[in-house]
Chains A and B, each alone.
Chain A
Amino acid sequence: QKEVEQNSGPLSVPEGAIASLNCTYSDRGSQSFFWYRQYSGKSPELIMFIYSNGDKEDGRFTAQLNKASQYVSLLIRDSQPSDSATYLCAVISGGSYIPTFGRGTSLIVHP
């Protein structure tokens, strides 16, 4: 059973701070990694994807991947109250392209 682990939180940060969200995965053959944001009662929306080790930046968001340690993280700089949501990590296994989601981390950005 391929597993994707996330701390359910909530992670509470003040407005303007950096929020750091982490995800670990069990399948060493995983090759694609995604972060989705999900507001309460809504469907997930893609924030970022990353395939290679290292950092990938997009605006206020940075995804970090370390395949040797089997973790992927998402940093949100200058956090805003509108960033308050659940952040889902998704991992796709190499070859099968079957996705596995973590349970998500709830982020609360307070003014």
Chain B
Amino acid sequence: EAEVAQSPRYKITEKSQAVAFWCDPISGHATLYWYRQILGQGPELLVQFQDESVVDDSQLPKDRFSAERLKGVDSTLKIQPAELGDSAMYLCASSPPTSGGQGDTQYFGPGTRLTVL
């Protein structure tokens, strides 16, 4: 069964350092999402890609976060510099092409647990 791959699974870093997360969506899925989930809260959408184009990044803190999906397949999310408040689970999800004009079912990867010290 196809799955969304993410790496690393766990990352511990010190504040002011740079971190990067990688996501490989399910083959054929055009839409890719990056979420941040703080303990006890729901996932918060950071950025949504359709192929290589950004659909929405209104909640992405652009002074320190960046995301790219250069060839419309895998994606990287970067934080520079990391802050204590960035400690969270970073989730990647992908969706198949939309059918019938309905919203897309999202399939989540295992996530990256980031701890900033």
Contacts and interface: CB of A to CB of B under 8 A. Distances in A.
A46 B106 CA distance: 8
A36 B43 CA distance: 11
Say which size band chain B's interface belongs to.
Answer: 20 to 34
Given A45-B108, A46-B105, A99 B45 contact: yes
Contact of A99 (B106, B107, B110, B111): B106
B3 to A, nearest CB: 10
B10 to A, nearest CB: 11
B42 A103 contact: yes
Given A43-B108, A96-B56, A31 B102 contact: yes
A22 interface: no
B21 interface: no
Contact of B48 (A51, A98, A101, A103): A98
A58 B31 CA distance: 26
Given A44-B43, A88-B42, A104-B42, A99 B103 contact: yes
B91 A43 contact: yes
Contacts of B108: 36, 43-45
- Among A6, A34, A36, A97, max chain B CB count under 10 A is at A97
Given A44-B43, A46-B107, A101-B44, A51 B91 contact: no
B109 A98 contact: no
- Among A6, A49, A98, max chain B CB count under 10 A is at A98
Contacts of A62: none
Interface string B31-47: 10101000011111100
A101 B105 contact: no
Given A43-B111, A45-B108, A96-B56, A31 B42 contact: no
A103 B106 contact: no
A104 B91 CA distance: 16
Contacts of B48: 98-99
Interface of A: 4, 6, 8, 31-32, 34, 36, 42-46, 49, 51, 88, 90, 92, 96-104
5 contacts: A31-B103, A34-B105, A46-B106, A98-B48, A103-B41
